[in-house]
Amino acid sequence: MIVTFGSINVDFVFSVAEMPQTGQTLLAAGFRTEAGGKGANQALAAARDGADVVMAGAVGRDALAAIGMQNLVQTADVSRVARVPEPTGCASIFIDGQGRNMIAVAAGANLAASADAVDDELIRRASVILMQMENDVREVEKLIRRVRQAGGKSVLNLAPAFLLAHDVLSLCDLIVVNEDEAEALAAWLECGSSAQELSERLSTGVLRTLGGNGAEACVDGAVIHVPAISIEVKDTTAAGDCFVGVLASGLDRGMPLEAAMRRAATAAGLACSRPGSQSSIPFRTETERIYSVS
């Protein structure tokens, strides 16, 4: 079982030929509203990959809450998602003609989510406690410490890249970053941004996703690299979250890290080949159709 403590958002997605510049107004070619948030996206990716998932977080008591929860309620245990007075988190996403994105997030209810929703018994039952950085940093830190004290396994997606204390980061079993987040982490730690250099500085496992170049990881001194699948990129919005969720699903079912990374890279590639946030995240059968022959 995977427990995800994370954000639940509603995405307002604008399709544009090119990204707007400062002071510029562009007419979007298309618009849609979709469920999103890093926590929800990753929980959904793990659930669609076949894992039992418990989602912990918070949404508002507003009309947006139903949109943000629409896919989770069908796939995960959402009994630990609180309803709070703050508005449901939301994001404005611009996607250009090359599939690249720019995102601004208003955290809203996500900052009211309490790590106490993940009780000690749930930590003991879970194979992976999955976290990101779109919630209150103090709650994330608290949960990391509790998972270590309880002997659980924590995977932290350091996204967005907010500074956590060195000793807190070192308590995580695996830290997942993309290239930009790795650069930010490396600057804080005053080291190189490769998975190996970050892992050596933190004395814990680090996985760095590399977009079209796949992903690399370093755990206990062993370096792993897996390639990306060859696809036509249409929308990268949820690809990173898809990777992390399917990675957690692979680890949950006992796969070695390299095999879980290959499976995650396959699912993330499929997500890039489709428009949408949660709508782009593949199901287990779709991923296995490609992963089994890769």
Q: Which residues are catalytic?
A: 241
Cβ proximity of 216 and 225 under 8 Å? yes
Distance CA 282, CA 280 (A): 6
Q: Of 147, 108, 145, 110, which Cα lies nearest the Cα of 128?
A: 147
Distance CA 108, CA 135 (A): 9
Quick count: other Cβ atoms within 10 Å of Cβ 256? Answer: 11
Alpha helices (runs of H) in 2-103, residue ranges in sequence order: 38-48, 63-69, 72-75
Distance CA 200, CA 211 (A): 23
For the CA atoms of 172, 281, 276, 87, what is the dihedral angle to 10 degrees? -50
Cross-strand bridge partners of residue 58: 82
3-state helix, strand, coil in the chain (%, to 5): 40, 25, 35
Quick count: other Cβ atoms within 10 Å of Cβ 33? Answer: 12
Alpha helices (runs of H) in the chain, residue ranges in sequence order: 38-48, 63-69, 72-75, 120-125, 137-149, 166-169, 179-189, 195-202, 239-252, 257-272, 284-291
Cβ proximity of 228 and 211 under 8 Å? yes
Q: Is the dihedral of CA 233, 236, 240, 243 positive or negative?
A: negative
